[in-house]
Structure 1
Amino acid sequence: MCRKLIALLLLLISCQFLYAQNNLLKDFPEGFGPKEVGKRLAYRFLDRKHMLHAGKWISYPETFNWTGALRYAKLTKDKKLLSLLEERFEKLTSQEKQLLPIMNHVDLNMFGSLPLELYQITKDKRYFDLGIPYADTQWAVPQNADKKQKEWAGKGFSWQTRLWIDDMYMITIVQAQAYKATGDRKYIERAASEMVLYLDELQRPNGLFYHAPDVPFYWGRGNGWMAAGMTELLRLLPKDNKDRPRILKGYETMMKSLKDFQRPGGMWNQLIDEPDCWAETSGSAMFAYALISGVKQGWLDKQEYAPVARKAWLAMVPYINEKGDVAEVCVGTNKKNDKQYYYDRPRNVGDSHGQSPYLWCTFALLEK
């Protein structure tokens, strides 16, 4: 009888433990729920002025903020929000048409991911026709391409290759969206091939990434672009893709390192491996998105990584102010071989660099 009671108690404890593990990314305190937080962030986007690239075209931070709000609206079936977001885009294709990015740079071509997201939601072919050229021209060498760009293209890579870690979200996201919109594997396969190039060139043995080959610093948001880019690819890559094992290995190695470098409070630093550097929100949110997705998709061990992801989310939410703006966001940052440069980067409030990945986290948490 005693043995049966002990066995029953052990079973009960085991069940309680499993229940707790399964709900780490579901049950949150009041004010921390992803639906509530996501609504604040998504509707806040509607009130924002355009964030332009070079003062001319819709920028990548705005593009990703917009797409994040669309995905949140779709997942939560918020028809009002979806209508307002589409209405804003309609204005962009009419009286604001001059703000549509040209197709000559990695930071501009990524814009195609936004109309392709709208196409997948609405099935309106106008969005498809607008978005696909942004994906196609990443691999169509222009007549004025320089020698290096032609060399990259000759090796099968995008002529926009430059080996900055930021690129592995900019290239990945538009190619991934083109794959989802068309079903044509060429888009996802060339993105995967590009990712392997960047992994081989930039990932260090500790799993983190230099900003560029000549900039040996582990910049937070730059590493975040890599983490999010690998996440997007792993979500979509067919199981028989030859590059999938390499990308999964790079992802797993990075996630282990991020677990080790997470601050006790849950955030990550502007320079990830520098304990005296400041906690930065955009990179932290990108890491959280990659971790949440990994746990839910089964790429990461739930018992080991769900607590890491939960700690990050609980640390991130208090940085959102009463207006729905995220604080402590590193401004747009070019590469520079100067460690102090990264320490001294200005910090913004409400910058779309931070708003976007926070939204990614909300729909990753809400996904079944």
Structure 2
Amino acid sequence: MKRAITRTAQPFIFLLVSFFLFSFQIEKEGKVSKEKELTDSNTPLHLLQPDYPVPYGMVKKEEVKGVIDRVRDYLAAVTPTTVIDKTTQKEITDFSKVNANSLLKPGDFRLLSYEWGVTYSAMLAAGEITGDAKYTDYTKDRVKFIADLYPHFKALSEQKNALHSILHPGALDDAGALCAAFIKTQAVGSDADIRPIVDNFMTYIMEKEFRLNDGTLARNRPLKNTLWLDDLYMSVPAIVQMGKLTGETKYYDAAVKQIELFSKRMFNERNGLYMHGWVEDMDVHPEFHWARANGWALLTKVEVLSVLPKDHPGRPMVMDLLKKHIKGLAALQSGSGFWHQLLDKNDSYLETSATAIYAYCIAKSINEGWIDGLAHAPMTLLAWNAVATMVNNTGQVEGTCVGTGMAFDPAFYYHRPINKFAAHGYGPVIAAGAEVIRLLQNNDFEINDSSLQLLRK
């Protein structure tokens, strides 16, 4: 009986629901018709607010600081300075007792990676710009930890141990970024005995790394006599910092020479971009403009110009390359503020670490007076706003491409994974935020016809 009544009631229920929906639609349309329609004659349409995919407009120093503080606090919590026994997992407080069985206590990131060399440098820059000693202390504490361990692990001779990559570097990745950061740490007044590590790194960079016949730093992978654009950053900042540390001109000359050698093979003057890889034996050189590698190249030029003496004969060449590179990158920034994984391929994904590196480098170039702030400051703040959206509530950086080798087909780059534990994003985000704070401290901005503009002083 219940089933029969239900079937009988179905047409009635359908009609009732239809009636109410129809009545609601009539009421809604009546309200719309009574509202004032926006037209060209009654509304300044150019002032309507666009639907931006990331925050747009004025940027506040306090908000920028809040973002990088969140990143710093997260990193401080997940990168311990502790040595443990591999078997017992107990902490070793007396470093004279370390042995081949001793490990650095694992955290979310490795304290000895090149990515952490970038992070150490970024923390020092943030400390200088913001005046917040927590940033400076982060680097000083970890560099001292490594330096204090160094002689004890060195005494283990050739045994494989926790500091093997800095005792016996096997690639520029092991040496350059950390070396540059260690020299900078010494410059801010660290009481750690850093010089033995620095000298060991520089011996590898200057004397042991494979080179082409003309002296260009190179690798024999994936093919013989291969240039990796990444290696500019993995070597040159350390070399130029060694020039500052020692006052020896040979280091400045060597740094400039590497930029010249890499750029003549890998920089495309037409589009202002670098290819990722160059192989000596190739008849043609496929140009894959990987975003982060271009970031390393841009960051290298900024590092060199920050240290190179004003009267060095190589300075105009480096400055010219910097300006051409920024011009090429500026033309390819997406409407969301990010850059693409392959810079000139709009169907490749938007990537965080490269965007952060560009934001830092362009902001610093403005702050140093190397490029026109009127032209470049708005795009820089747009890039920062994009990057800030990728810092989650924990302080982790999202949207960063994982470590990437070299390829000669697009699919490899298009489909590289992204991961919040890709260490490459953290240093650049902190550096970008710090330099953007400096940009905001030095300049005033306004909104004109809804667009962000830097005010000429």
TM-score, normalization by structure 1: 0.82
* Runs of at least 4 residues off by over 4 Å: 94-97, 156-162
- Asked if structure 2 preserves the Cα contact closer than 8 Å seen for 1:116 and 1:132, the reply is no
**Per the alignment, do residues 75 and 341 of structure 1 end up closer, same or farther by CA in structure 2, a change over 3 Å counting?**
same
Quote the offset at 1:240 in angstroms.
2.4
Matches within 5 A, 1:56-205: 58-94=112-148, 97=153, 98-99=162-163, 100-101=165-166, 102-110=168-176, 111-124=178-191, 126-141=193-208, 149=210, 151-152=212-213, 155-158=214-217, 162-204=226-268, 205=270
The 2-side partners of 1:189 and 1:311 are apart by: 36
The 2-side partners of 1:123 and 1:87 are apart by: 9
- Corresponding residue for residue 398 of structure 2: 327
**Per the alignment, do residues 359 and 185 of structure 1 end up closer, same or farther by CA in structure 2, a change over 3 Å counting?**
farther
Please give the per-residue CA displacement for 1:32-84, whole angstroms capped at 9, x wherever unaligned: 42x322222223222232644xxxx8211122112312332344333345445
- Asked if structure 1 preserves the Cα contact closer than 8 Å seen for 2:381 and 2:436, the reply is no
- Corresponding residue for residue 211 of structure 1: 276
Given the alignment of the two structures, is residue 45 of structure 1 paired with residue 99 of structure 2, yes or no? no
- Corresponding residue for residue 328 of structure 2: 257
Quote the offset at 1:173 in angstroms.
1.8
- Name the aligned partner's letter for residue 349 of structure 1: K
Unaligned residue ranges in structure 2 (runs of 5+): 1-56, 79-106, 154-161, 220-224, 279-284, 443-457
Structure of greater Rg = 2
Please give the per-residue CA displacement for 1:99-127, whole angstroms capped at 9, x wherever unaligned: 25223311111121232122111253611
Quote the offset at 1:287 in angstroms.
1.2
Most deviating of 102-111 and 155-164: 155-164
- Asked if structure 1 preserves the Cα contact closer than 8 Å seen for 2:363 and 2:435, the reply is yes
- Name the aligned partner's letter for residue 328 of structure 1: G
The 1-side partners of 2:273 and 2:172 are apart by: 22
- Name the aligned partner's letter for residue 249 of structure 1: D
Matches within 5 A, 1:309-320: 309-320=380-391
Quote the offset at 1:129 in angstroms.
3.0
- Name the aligned partner's letter for residue 251 of structure 1: L
State percent identity of aligned pairs. Answer: 26
The 2-side partners of 1:95 and 1:135 are apart by: 19
Quote the offset at 1:30 in angstroms.
7.3
**Per the alignment, do residues 181 and 39 of structure 1 end up closer, same or farther by CA in structure 2, a change over 3 Å counting?**
farther
Quote the offset at 1:200 in angstroms.
0.6
The 2-side partners of 1:260 and 1:267 are apart by: 12
Unaligned residue ranges in structure 1 (runs of 5+): 1-25, 143-148
**Per the alignment, do residues 131 and 338 of structure 1 end up closer, same or farther by CA in structure 2, a change over 3 Å counting?**
same
Quote the offset at 1:31 in angstroms.
6.3
**Per the alignment, do residues 30 and 227 of structure 1 end up closer, same or farther by CA in structure 2, a change over 3 Å counting?**
closer
Quote the offset at 1:227 in angstroms.
0.9
Higher helix share: 1
- Corresponding residue for residue 434 of structure 2: 363
Quote the offset at 1:225 in angstroms.
0.6
- Asked if structure 2 preserves the Cα contact closer than 8 Å seen for 1:32 and 1:317, the reply is no
- Corresponding residue for residue 284 of structure 1: 355
**Which of 285, 288, 291 is matched with 1:220 structurally?**
291
The 1-side partners of 2:212 and 2:232 are apart by: 19
TM-score, normalization by structure 2: 0.67
- Asked if structure 1 preserves the Cα contact closer than 8 Å seen for 2:180 and 2:241, the reply is yes
Quote the offset at 1:192 in angstroms.
1.0
- Corresponding residue for residue 243 of structure 1: 314
The SS at the match of 2:276 is coil
- Corresponding residue for residue 41 of structure 2: none
The SS at the match of 1:333 is coil
**Per the alignment, do residues 297 and 89 of structure 1 end up closer, same or farther by CA in structure 2, a change over 3 Å counting?**
closer
- Asked if structure 1 preserves the Cα contact closer than 8 Å seen for 2:123 and 2:138, the reply is no
- Asked if structure 2 preserves the Cα contact closer than 8 Å seen for 1:227 and 1:251, the reply is yes
- Corresponding residue for residue 13 of structure 2: none
Quote the offset at 1:86 in angstroms.
2.9
- Corresponding residue for residue 35 of structure 2: none
Quote the offset at 1:199 in angstroms.
0.9
- Asked if structure 2 preserves the Cα contact closer than 8 Å seen for 1:51 and 1:58, the reply is no
Please give the per-residue CA displacement for 1:260-309, whole angstroms capped at 9, x wherever unaligned: 10101111000111111111001111111121112111221111111111
Most deviating of 207-216 and 160-169: 160-169
- Asked if structure 1 preserves the Cα contact closer than 8 Å seen for 2:340 and 2:349, the reply is yes
Please give the per-residue CA displacement for 1:220-259, whole angstroms capped at 9, x wherever unaligned: 1011111111111122222322222222222111111111
The SS at the match of 1:163 is strand
The 2-side partners of 1:265 and 1:130 are apart by: 42
